[in-house]
Amino acid sequence: MQATQYLGEIIKELNQTADLIAAGEAEKLVNEILKAKKIFVAGAGRSGFMSKSFAMRMMHMGLDAYVVGETITPNLEQDDILIIGSGSGETRSLVSMAEKAKSLGATVALVTIFPESTIGQLADITVKLPGSPKDQSDNGYKTIQPMGSLFEQTLLLFYDAIILRCMEKKGLDSNTMFKRHANLE
């Protein structure tokens, strides 16, 4: 198969994922984001990159958003939300973050393949995304892609959809957001 044919297959897989995400879970996440004083995102590996992209767009909306572990990240407090993107919901460093956030009284949200995971059990909000775990164990969802690629791609697109819904609720458009885009180049 040629690369462009693989691209077509990937797009087909992504099209199928949208209908499998619970709208109510997504809307609850939107509402908690807009209610939070500060928003923190975390993820490991490629999921972490998707989370950083999400934080950037929230900053463009004028929300007080941070990536856990960056040097300019402030302290997490009671009226804040920690959003974790983790396919497995079991990554040790992310479990520790969720436990700490809960102990501080913050809201914890998890976007994952496995809502029943350790982080899922700690979370106030869980959003289940379709996909296969890195080890491609049988979880009922098949993909032609390696490891957690489908989850990671769906995570990025889901986060972009959350941004669009937040923009709608805040009455923002792309031009308003562009004014907060870096212009030092």
What percent of the chain is predicted at pLDDT more than 70? 92
* Residue in 32, 152, 168, 185 annotated catalytic: 152
- Please confirm, yes or no, whether 152 is among the known catalytic residues: yes
What is the 3 state secondary structure string of the chain? CCHHHHHHHHHHHHHHHHCCCCHHHHHHHHHHHHHCCCEEEEECHHHHHHHHHHHHHHHHCCCCEEECCCCCCCCCCCCCEEEEECCCCCCHHHHHHHHHHHHCCCEEEEEECCCCCHHHHHCCEEEECCCCCCCCCCCCCCCCCCCCHHHHHHHHHHHHHHHHHHHHHHCCCHHHHHCCCCCCC
pLDDT reported for residue 78: 95
pLDDT reported for residue 135: 63
Over residues 108-146, the pLDDT tens digits come to 999 999 999 999 999 999 999 987 666 666 556 778 677
pTM of the entire structure? Answer: 0.92
Over residues 31-70, the pLDDT tens digits come to 999 999 999 999 999 999 999 999 999 999 999 999 999 9
What percent of the chain is predicted at pLDDT more than 90? 70
